Amino acid sequence: MALNKTLRPGLIQLRVLDLDKTLDFYKNILGLNEVCRTDDGRVCLKGYDEFDHHSVTLRKADEPGFDYAAFKVDNEETLNKMAAATEAFGYPTDEVPANSNQPGFGRRIGFTISTGHRLELYCDVKLADQRPEIDNPNIWTEPPRGMRAQRLDHFLLYGPNIAEAERFCTEVLGMFVPEVCNTPDGNRLAAWITSSNKPHDLAFVEYAQPGKMHHVGFYLENWTDVGNAADWMAIHRLKRDVGPTRHAITRGQTIYFWEPSGNRIEVYAGGYTAYPDNPQRTWTAEELGRGLFYYEGEMIPSFLEIVT
Amino acid sequence: MESYEITVMSAGNTFLCGHEQSVLDAMVKAGFGPFHYGCYGGGCGVCKIRVRSGSYHVFKNMSKAHITGGLDKDIVLSCCIQPRGPLVIEAVSPGHRALYPSFRLQSEPHSQ
């Protein structure tokens, strides 16, 4: 039985400035596997440790950034209920037919939240051909490449009115909020939201411009892999933002860096186990720097200022 | 490979930039110039400069969120251009500072 009716963020579509160089990064450095290409030239990829058809789609465009992300829910009944609840919440929905613009995915319900981002929900997706074994399974079949990213883990979105977006996630998607950061006058500055035991599946930071992405996070197995990722960044001259370091918020072990199109990537290991019955952790804005960069102990300006 | 002189307009000082080197990279290594930088990928727009004169080669796609060409065709991302002759450049103000609710973010120094 699922911990929650929303299972996880299953798909993100990102815009990139140039497909070849950036694709080489995602495949050979981050370590994702190419699954297929669409008729309109987008590339579908997945982490080696994921079961579902694909989790990352790259679209060449004039500006990098976030197109949309989709959450998998447990069944058709939940999908229908959440579609109705989304409309009732005040977000008009549209329906993307099965197997249309994302190969292997069933129908998706799409809508735009208060922060200006498009999110989608789905319940059906084909199993990938390359996926973890399930019969007396080995831990992997092909040796993981590069940074050894296992799966799409989470993303951090920047936009206005995150309090409403958070409320949507809890009221409609049934997610819960293990950790928040508030301004001195009590407004929400940041929220970390999950539908599982992970400390976050998505997060928001309050920001004047809508529709921006701060980073997309990929999961690594442990701190050793975080160090390995740093080696790969150095060898390939990828621009590092912050890390290797640890967050106090979520307790994740992390590095942030930029891929060749300027999208910020996080490689992330660890994180505490979140339960909906546990008390919420709160950070004050003054302490946010230490909360994000536990070892540095202060805010790093580039982290706040740079988004795509 | 050739190097060219890059002049920073308001200051009048110069630094050298190689034919195969991005202007941003040369600025950072010279420790001098109107540099802000971010992603080094043409995506975040932070390293914007105006080229007052001189010719350059755009070797990387620049995000159209930040570079629109047209009337502002001399505004470029310094991480995406290599010189093809001496250049005169100047800063362009970032304009993204006021996007956060205003409050103090800096935490106390770590060492206690």
pLDDT, position B1: 81
Kindly list the residues from chain A whose CB atom is less than 8 angstroms away from the CB atom of residue B62: 17
- Nearest CB to A302: which of B38, B61, B107? B38
pTM of the model: 0.91
How distant is the Cα of B97 from the closest Cα of chain A, in angstroms? 7
A206 among known catalytic residues: no
Q: Is A77 a catalytic residue?
A: no
Average pLDDT score over residue span A175-197: 96
Q: Which of B64, B101, B109 sits opposite A63 (nearest CB)?
A: B64
Largest CA distance in chain B: 54
Residue A54 annotated in active site: no
Pick the more confident residue, A1 or A109: A109
pLDDT value, residue B93: 64
Q: Domain of residue A79: give its range.
A: 6-122
* Crossing angle for the helix pair A162-171 and A76-89, to the nearest 10 degrees: 140
Phi-psi region of A54 (alpha: psi -120 to 50; beta: other; left: phi over 0): beta
Q: Give the mean model confidence (pLDDT) for residues A80-105.
A: 98
Nearest to B45 by CA among A305, A122, A242: A305
Distances (CA, A) of A183 to A84, A187, A269: 33, 5, 28
- Assess whether A40 and A101 both reside in one domain: yes
Could B44 and A258 be called an inter-chain contact, meaning their C-beta atoms sit closer than 8 Å?
Answer: yes
Q: What is the pLDDT of residue B34?
A: 66
Would you say residue A29 lies in a domain?
A: yes
Go through the domains of chain B in sequence order and give each one's CATH number: 3-93 (3.10.20.30)
Q: Is the peptide bond before A144 cis (omega within 30 degrees of 0)?
A: no
Residues B44 and A264: their CA atoms lie apart, in Å, by 9
Question: What is the model's pLDDT at position A63?
Answer: 95
Same domain, A108 and A160: no
The answer to whether residue A68 sits within a structural domain is yes
What is the tens place of the pLDDT at every residue in A265-307? 999 999 999 999 999 999 999 999 999 999 999 999 888 889 9
User: What is the pLDDT, as a whole number, of residue A3?
Assistant: 56
* Residue labelled with tokens 């959440």: A82
Q: In percent, how much of chain A has pLDDT > 70? A: 99
Tell whether A170 is covered by a domain.
yes
d(CA B31, CA A270): 38
pLDDT band at A218 (very low <50, low <70, confident <90, very high): very high
A158 and A286 both lie in a single domain: yes
Per residue in A112-133, pLDDT (tens digit) is 999 999 999 999 999 999 999 9
Residue-level pLDDT, tens digit, chain B, 112 residues: 899 999 988 777 899 999 999 999 999 888 877 677 889 999 998 889 999 999 999 999 999 988 888 777 889 999 999 999 999 998 886 544 444 444 444 433 333 3
DSSP lists the bridge partners of residue B48 as B77
Looking at the domain assignment, is residue A133 inside a domain? no
Beta carbons within 10 angstroms of residue A130's beta carbon: 13
Same domain, A160 and A85: no
Mutate to test the interface with B, among A182, A249, A286 (most CBs of B within 10 A): A286
How far B94 CA lies from chain A's nearest CA (Å)?
Answer: 10
Q: Is residue A1 part of a domain?
A: no
A298 contacts in B (CB within 8 Å)?
A: 106-107, 109-110
State ipTM: 0.79
Alpha-carbon distance B103 to nearest alpha carbon in chain A (angstroms) = 7
Look-up of token digits 């105006």: B50
Enumerate the β-bridge partners of residue A308.
none
Picking from A247, A171, A156, the residue whose alpha carbon sits closest to that of residue A204 is A156
The predicted structure's pLDDT at residue B94: 57
Same domain membership, residue A178 and residue A64:
no
Q: Do the Cβ atoms of A208 and B109 come within 8 Å?
A: no
Catalytic pick among A122, A154, A219, A259: A154
- By mean pLDDT, which of A25-39, A152-166, A194-208, B25-39 is the weakest? B25-39
Residue A188 domain flag:
yes
Size of interface A-B (CB pairs under 8 A): 111
Catalytic, A247? Answer yes
More confident residue, A308 or B13: A308
The answer on A92 and A204 residing in a single domain is no
Whether A17 and B60 lie within 8 Å, measured CB to CB: yes
- DSSP conformation letters of chain A: --SSSEEEEEEEEEEES-HHHHHHIIIIII-PEEEEE-TTS-EEEE-TT--BS-SEEEEE-SS-EEEEEEEEES-HHHHHHHHHHHHHHT---EEEPTTSSSTTB--EEEEE-TTS-EEEEES-BPBPSS----SS--S-SSPPPTT---EEEEEEEEES-HHHHHHHHHHTT--EEEEEEE-TTS-EEEEEEESSSSS-SEEEEE-SSTTEEEEEEEE-SSHHHHHHHHHHHHHTTPPEEEEEEE-SSTTEEEEEEE-TTS-EEEEEEE-PPP-TTSPPEEEEGGGHHHHH-TTT-S--HHHHH---
**Is the domain of A72 the same as that of A160?**
no
Residues A109 and A185 in one domain: no
Distance from CA of B3 to the nearest CA of A (A): 22
Instruction: Tell me if A49 is assigned to some domain.
Output: yes
The count of domains in chain A is 2
Residue A256 bears catalytic tag: yes
C-alpha of A4 from chain center: 18
Q: Is residue A134 part of a domain?
A: no
Domain with residue A76: its CATH number is: 3.10.180.10
| Same domain flag for A188 and A298 | yes
Using one digit for the tens of pLDDT, what is the confidence trace for A136-150?
999 999 999 999 999
In A, minimum Cα distance to B112 occurs at: A297
Judged by CB atoms closer than 8 Å, whether chains meet at B63 and A299 is answered as no
* A266 given a catalytic annotation: yes
B43/A302 CB distance under 8 A: no
Who contacts B102 (Cβ-Cβ below 8 Å, separation ≥6)?
none
Mean pLDDT, range A183-208, rounded to an integer: 96
A168 and A284 inside one domain: yes
Residues in B touching A184 (Cβ below 8 Å): 103
Q: What is the pLDDT of residue B55?
A: 96
State which amino acid sits at residue B16: L
Helix (H, G, I), strand (E, B) or coil at B25: helix
What tens digit of pLDDT does each residue of A10-66 get? 999 999 999 998 999 999 999 999 999 999 999 999 999 999 999 999 999 999 999
Residue ending a domain, choose from A122, A139, A168: A122
pLDDT at A243 over 90: yes
Residues A95 and A155 occupy one common structural domain: no
The minimal CB distance from A290 to the residues B61, B104, B107 is found for: B107
For residues A63 and A108, state if they share a domain: yes
Quick one: pLDDT at residue A148?
Answer: 98
3-class DSSP state of B79: helix
